[in-house]
Chains A and B, each alone.
Chain A
């Protein structure tokens, strides 16, 4: 069956006719062309597709469109405002916390949620928050340093 869902993505409402089994990551990438949210494992393991659902990080590959009906979704595209990167994005650049970039949107959204919930996390809290995101390039050290440096900015 086809059903209508309303997704609030980065502050804009969108109505879609969807199959109920369609995932939010597919809608973001294929219908809204918000390709910053990356799809990889499709098993909730890697963290590349992390978006914020009502402010909380979730795996958008495991989120069906009707589960997100009338809910607020934020993607990595929301972090830049008026052509200006967020302090966290700037920190990722400064610290070289990006290599291939595949995992980066997931790390950015997970860390954004962390800093919104806990503006002054210690290293242990950062590690705990990021423990479910996989990076196969930089080895995490630069990512953690970038998050630390963005505290309070």
Chain B
């Protein structure tokens, strides 16, 4: 099948092509997910719109209010090496550094990964835990979509067919917030099979040791990247304990809806997700501990 190719040089040009294509175009940035699907003949694009050379989709900046802006076409390599991001949200570069392997990090983009909306993607759940905003560009300018409204179904986002993700805006965290990212994978590299991941942002109360606030993202356990206000509410205002995590574990069995696959059963994934959650929470929590004693065995 013949395919049209638009090398867009501006967001407007890309949006114009999207409008003209009436939903028939595929956006390509790094191509590390799309071209796999093309090689497998699962996608046969009739129109590709290349957005990787649009200057407005690049760059990592800290805005005056502390918000960190990441252009949609910023590569995983750039995210992993960004001091601006590392200073603001420690888990994000750590997460990016563990995506696939170096040669995929060199081409794959954070925006492409988020827009793929793969339930096993790592950037999406980091953004869920950080309450990021997805800024879309479309025919009427830009539109801000809260990340918790962005992932609507399997490989489906809230973007309209004439919209593209322009940038990701991560709001500054409140004082004393800490973050951590945890991943369970069969292999350290190229973990394209089943992975379970958890992203955590929390504030630990300095006197009580309770979680004053906690925000979570779960990967590999549903149709989309997943968050759960129910689980966050259970944890908020409590201190970590065996009983608390057992409660969370049993609730997670109802909340999470992973699929059985050739490696793991759905229930095994629920179990691993609960264990990964506990470990990742404690990774973040211990980092804020400035007193004595350990609450968790």
Q: Name A's B-contacting residues (CB within 8 A).
A: 1, 3, 19-21, 23, 42-45, 47, 50, 53, 56-59, 61-64, 66-67, 69, 110, 128-129, 131-133
Contact = CB atoms under 8 A, between A and B. Distances in A.
> Nearest 3 CB-CB pairs, A to B?
A132-B101, A20-B5, A131-B189
Given A1-B4, A19-B3, A63-B35, A43 B101 contact: no
A20 B102 contact: no
Interface of B: 2-5, 7, 28, 31-32, 35-36, 38-40, 45, 48, 50, 52, 77, 100-104, 106-107, 188-190, 192
Given A43-B40, A47-B103, A132-B104, A67 B28 contact: yes
B103 A57 contact: yes
A76 to B, nearest CB: 14
Contact of A132 (B2, B4, B36, B190): B190
Nearest to A51: B103
29 contacts: A1-B2, A1-B3, A1-B4, A1-B5, A19-B2, A20-B3, A20-B48, A21-B48, A23-B35, A42-B39, A42-B40, A43-B39, A44-B35, A45-B190, A50-B103, A57-B102, A57-B103, A58-B106, A62-B36, A62-B107, A63-B35, A64-B28, A64-B31, A69-B7, A128-B102, A131-B189, A132-B102, A132-B104, A132-B189
A21 B28 contact: no
Residue of B7, B35, B104 with most chain A CB atoms under a 10 A cut-off: B35
Contacts of B101: 47, 131-133
Contacts of A128: 102
Contacts of A1: 2-5
B32 to A, nearest CB: 5
B61 to A, nearest CB: 23
A21 B38 contact: yes
